[in-house]
Chain A
Amino acid sequence: MMSYIFYIIAIVSAAMVGFLLRLPLLPERPMRQSWTISIVFPTIIIAVSLYAMFDYFKIYNGIYTAIIIGVFAAVFCRYLLEKLVPIPDRGDSQ
């Protein structure tokens, strides 16, 4: 149970850095059709998943890793996510 605290630390760190980088908290309504990158989705999800990978394979799990992964997730979502998986134009028949 004690190791679950590090997930909370990763979430808090990602949320704080995301707030500093001016990411919105929630996507616009209606939530299911908006493409905006927000703190709750996907920043926290990426942070928790990356920390779970590091935790399972035992690569430096601990408080510093959680904080670094939170920061990385927020920075990645703010700057790199759009370049990696671009938003398709609306009305595109793919």
Chain B
Amino acid sequence: MNEILAIVLGAVLSWLNFVLIDIWMGLPEAPGVRGAKAIGKSIEKRDGDLGGGYFSGNIVCSPDASAGTLLASCCYFAFHSPAGGLIAALFVYFGNRICADPGYAGTTGALTITILIWATSYIGLSPQNFIVGIVIAILTIQGLYHPLVSKLIGKMARKMNRKVIEPE
């Protein structure tokens, strides 16, 4: 398969994997820790969406599906077999617990990306495409223009029924 097409496909699959799982796990609803709240409010102050801001803040401050995707594809690449993705799931789970998070998002992201990499290996994609794919995906979410992307994430979150929960 053409190398550029493989990287693009890896980036799209990684983006979908981590964004959908994170939104489904409720990251745009509330800030997990105090730092995430600060980042969310700062993005809202610059004309962004608060749900999207909390999403970015939660990605920065604790491991979530994006961390699970990155580490599972790195371990799959290093171990040359899906066993690498399974080993990464354990480390991501303990990393989550250290950062005061229950651990569902990261581990789910790691397991699903392992299944995806294994399935697309029959088409011609290899794990290094997914490694660079997740870096490109996180660049689009956090490295380009925060207010615009936060509005997109907020729109997707409302479509998946995950609104911002106001603190009592």
Direct contact, A vs B (beta carbon within 8 Å): yes
Mark A residues whose CB is within 8 Å of B: 30-35, 41-42, 45-46, 48-50, 52-53, 55-56, 85, 88, 92-94
Inter-chain CA distance A42–B110, complex, in Å, is: 14
B115 part of interface (Cβ distance < 8 Å):
no
Q: Which residues of A contact B100 (CB under 8 A)?
A: 88, 92, 94
A49–B90 touching, CB < 8 Å: yes
Query: Chain B binding site: helix, strand, loop or mixed by DSSP?
Result: helix
Q: Which residues of B contact A85 (CB under 8 A)?
A: 94, 97-98
A94–B34 touching, CB < 8 Å: yes
Known contacts A41-B104, A56-B79, A85-B98, A49 near B34 by CB under 8 Å:
no
Task: Give the contact-size bracket for chain B.
Answer: 20 to 34
Question: Lowest 8 CB-CB distances: which A-B pairs, in order?
Answer: A49-B90, A85-B97, A52-B83, A52-B86, A88-B100, A93-B34, A32-B25, A56-B83
A94–B93 touching, CB < 8 Å: no
The one of A35, A45, A56 in contact with B93, judged by C-beta atoms closer than 8 angstroms, is A45
Closest A residue, CB atoms, query B30: A33
